[in-house]
């Protein structure tokens, strides 16, 4: 589990705009960790989390698109099994931490998926979800397994 910078890029809803932005990131050799695109009738919001080098990301986005913002988000590695995301959201709910929005990558190598969450209280969420082991670092990835199934 770690805190990363998420870039929200505001796109005109027309053909080629998304390709223009993603091409600029590719040309700058920026590795995407996760992305989501939400649209309305007039514009879209592309949210991306990249692998480090935020200055490089800013430069590429500024050249490709004029409107973007940055925010800190929680990035977690989860097991790619039914209930893993639910278990994480339940821990946050039990601690009364609101999730403004979230998105996940598809199953990654080794049966893992990456979850990105924008939470109301980042510091508290880090504390609630931190691994039980002592001496863990900020970049330790939390592995939340699915809750056992209840029999009826």
Residue 108 has pLDDT above 80, yes or no: no
Q: Give mean pLDDT, residues 40-54.
A: 88
Tell me if 88 is assigned to some domain: yes
Q: Give mean pLDDT, residues 107-134.
A: 84
Task: Say what the pTM is.
Answer: 0.80
Q: How distant, in Å, are the alpha carbons of 15, 79, 85, 143 from that of 111?
A: 34, 6, 14, 11
- In the chain, the number of structural domains is 2
Helical (H) or strand (E) element with 125: helix 122-129
Tell me if 108 is assigned to some domain: yes
How many other CB atoms are found less than 10 A from the CB of residue 36? 17
**27 Cβ neighbours under 8 A, 6+ residues apart:** 60
- The percent of residues in the chain predicted with pLDDT above 90, rounded, is 61
Residue 135 has pLDDT above 50, yes or no: no
Domain that holds residue 47: 2-72
What local confidence, expressed as pLDDT, does residue 119 receive?
97
- If one compares 143 and 93, the residue with the highest pLDDT of the two is 93
Tell me if 16 is assigned to some domain: yes
Q: How far apart are CA 116 and CA 114, in angstroms?
A: 7
Tell me if 135 is assigned to some domain: no
Q: How far apart are CA 95 and CA 32, in angstroms?
A: 30
Q: Give mean pLDDT, residues 4-25.
A: 93
- The reply to whether 67 and 10 lie within a common domain is yes
């Amino acid at each position: 589990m770690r805190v990363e910078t998420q870039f929200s890029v505001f796109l005109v809803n027309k053909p080629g705009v998304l390709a223009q932005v993603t091409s600029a990131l590719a040309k700058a050799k920026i590795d995407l960790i996760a992305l989501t695109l939400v649209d309305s009738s007039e514009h879209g919001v592309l949210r991306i989390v990249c692998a480090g080098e935020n200055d490089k990301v800013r430069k590429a986005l500024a050249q490709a698109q004029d409107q973007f913002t940055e925010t800190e988000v929680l990035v977690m590695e989860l097991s790619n099994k039914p209930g893993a995301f639910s278990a994480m959201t339940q821990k946050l709910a039990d601690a009364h931490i609101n999730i403004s929005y979230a998105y996940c990558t598809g199953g990654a190598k080794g049966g893992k998926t990456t979850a990105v969450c924008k939470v109301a209280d980042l510091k508290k969420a880090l504390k609630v979800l931190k691994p039980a082991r002592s001496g863990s670092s900020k970049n330790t990835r939390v592995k939340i397994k699915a809750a056992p199934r209840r029999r009826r």
